[in-house]
Amino acid sequence: MDLVLFDLDNTLLAGDSDFEWAQFLISKGVLDKEVHEARNQIFYDQYKAGTLDIFEFLDFQLKPLARHSRAQLDAWHREFMETRIRPMMTAKSQALVRAQLESGAVVAVVTATNSFVTGPIARAFGIPHLVATIPAQENGVFTGKPRGTPAFKGGKIERVEAWLESLGLCWESFGKSSFYSDSHNDLPLMNKVANPVAVDPDDTLRAHASAHGWPVISLR
């Protein structure tokens, strides 16, 4: 039995769901365009540069969840899926996921983007497991804060290991472990698995993959 882990944004998706969710809320008038569009871009640029303060970003990204009912958020998310996400689900990424599922591997999305945004996306790909940053809830209402360690950089390893433990599994339970990602922010988890695969990688990851003989593929 193999373990196959996929990053989501700019890996399985030809775009970034975290960034697009904020842009979507701006387009709906839920968030102020002048204030939030500039900050959203700044955070996205910091992520790409490897300088993002994940807790500062989550304070920005999760607060809108706390201001609206779950029914309203779910309605917006359904529209978000159809207008923003499905066009980013490439034929190649869907075919790769199907092949891994049909092989009998344990397949999961591992993403820093919060589980409210990414849960429906993982389900749309048919992926049964999601390891993501968790937005805290109280009595079914989002608090605007994260719960536990964000699934970001080294935090992805901690969250994956906790998930495996919850299934009664560990790294040694698998014949081979793989992780597909586009970002140098994911180097900790890529170095942990037996088979790291760079997908449409950023320049830093591409150079690292080349130096270490890792496969480089495109799903675009």
7, 16, 182, 202: the catalytic one is: 7
Q: Output the CA torsion sign for 134, 140, 142, 143.
A: negative
pTM of the full predicted structure?
A: 0.95
Q: How confident is the model at residue 143 (pLDDT cuts 50, 70, 90)?
A: very high
Structure token pair of residue 112: 């820093």
Per-residue pLDDT of 84-101, as tens digits, reads 999 999 999 999 999 999
- Sequence length of the chain is 220
9, 18, 186, 202: the catalytic one is: 9
Per-residue pLDDT of 167-194, as tens digits, reads 999 999 999 999 999 999 999 999 999 9
Domain extents in the chain: 2-217
Q: How confident is the model at residue 140 (pLDDT cuts 50, 70, 90)?
A: confident
Per-residue pLDDT of 158-168, as tens digits, reads 999 999 999 99
Per-residue pLDDT of 15-58, as tens digits, reads 999 999 999 999 999 988 887 888 889 998 999 899 999 999 98
CA distance 201 to 55: 25
For the chain, the straight-line distance linking the first and the last C-alpha, in angstroms and rounded, comes to 28
Q: Is pLDDT at 60 greater than 90 in this prediction?
A: no
45 is catalytic: no
Structure token pair of residue 217: 């593929």
pLDDT number for residue 159: 98
Quote the mean pLDDT of the chain: 95
Q: How confident is the model at residue 78 (pLDDT cuts 50, 70, 90)?
A: very high
Q: How many CB atoms lie within 10 A of CB 123?
A: 13
Task: Give the percent of the chain with pLDDT over 70.
Answer: 100
Coil, helix or strand at residue 24 = helix
pLDDT number for residue 144: 93
pLDDT number for residue 33: 86
Q: What CA–CA distances, in Å, run from 77 to 57, 67, 74, 184, 192?
A: 20, 15, 5, 28, 33
Please tell me the class of the 2-217 domain.
Answer: alpha beta
Could you tell me if 120 and 109 are in contact, meaning their C-beta atoms sit under 8 angstroms apart?
no
7 is catalytic: yes
- Antiparallel, parallel or unpaired: β 129-138 and 106-114: parallel
